[in-house]
Amino acid sequence: MRFLLKRLSFYAVAFLVAATFNFMIPRLLPGNPADIMLANSGGMIAPEARDALMATFGFIDAPLHEQYFAYLGSIFTWDFGLSIKFYPMPVADVLTQALPWTLFLTGAALLIAFSTGTLLGILAAWRRGQLTDVIASPTALALQSVPAVVVALCGLYFLSVRNRVFPTSYAYDPKLDPAFSWEFAASVAYHGFLPVVTLSVVLVGGYLITMRNNMIGQLGEDYLAMAEAKGLSDARVRYAYAARNALLPSVTALALSFGALFGGSLITEVVFNYPGVGNLLYLGIVGRDFPLIQGQLLIMTLAMLLANLAVDLAYVFLDPRLKRA
Rounded CA-CA distance 63/200 in Å is 47
Rounded distance between C-alpha atoms, residue 124 and residue 130, angstroms: 8
Helices (H), 29-90: 33-40, 50-56, 64-76
d(CA 200, CA 172): 20
Instruction: Return d(Cα 248, Cα 230) in angstroms, integer.
Output: 25
Among residues 307, 137, 151, 278, which one has the least CA distance to residue 207?
137
Q: Which domains are seen in the chain, by residue range?
A: 2-76 (no CATH), 99-324 (1.10.3720.10)
**Between 53 and 18, the higher pLDDT residue:** 18
Measured CA distances, 141 to 127, 135, 213 (Å): 18, 11, 13
**How many whole angstroms separate alpha carbon 148 and alpha carbon 150?**
5
pTM for this entry: 0.78
Summarised one tens digit per residue, pLDDT across range 38-54 is: 666 665 666 666 666 66
How confident is the model over 260-304, as pLDDT tens digits?
A: 666 557 788 888 888 888 888 888 877 777 788 888 888 888 877
First-to-last CA distance in the chain?
Answer: 13
Q: Does the structure show a pLDDT above 70 at 29? A: no
Give the phi and the psi of residue 154 in degrees, each rounded to 5. -65, -45
Q: Cα(126)–Cα(140) distance, rounded to whole angstroms?
A: 16
Give the tens place of pLDDT for each residue, 126-171: 888 788 778 888 888 888 788 878 888 888 888 888 888 888 877 8
